[in-house]
Amino acid sequence: MTKKITISLPDELADEAQASGNASAYIAAALRERRRIQDDLAIMADLWGPGWQDGIGDEDRARAARLFGGDATADAA
């Protein structure tokens, strides 16, 4: 089942959603991704305890961004 809602977005986000060709599907995918990330963070908190991310520094975040972006060659060594 689906429910029709009306939302307001900042111009740049509205433009991005409209450019996708199917704004509803685009926003639904973004919400599902957010839910997945929140679930993953909850799992990590269960494994390592609250505040587990406090020890993650800028260098770790940059490496994760490179790996997530597909540029893992620099980190393969």
The model's pLDDT over 6-57, given as tens digits with 9 standing for 90+, comes to 999 999 999 999 999 999 999 999 999 999 999 998 998 899 888 888 888 9
Tell which phi-psi region holds residue 49, choosing left (phi > 0), alpha (psi between -120 and 50) or beta. Answer: left
Instruction: Give the pLDDT confidence score for residue 77 in this predicted structure.
Output: 45
Read off the pTM.
Answer: 0.65
pLDDT of 71: 58
Domain regions of the chain by residue span = 11-75
CB 26 within 8 A of CB 17: yes
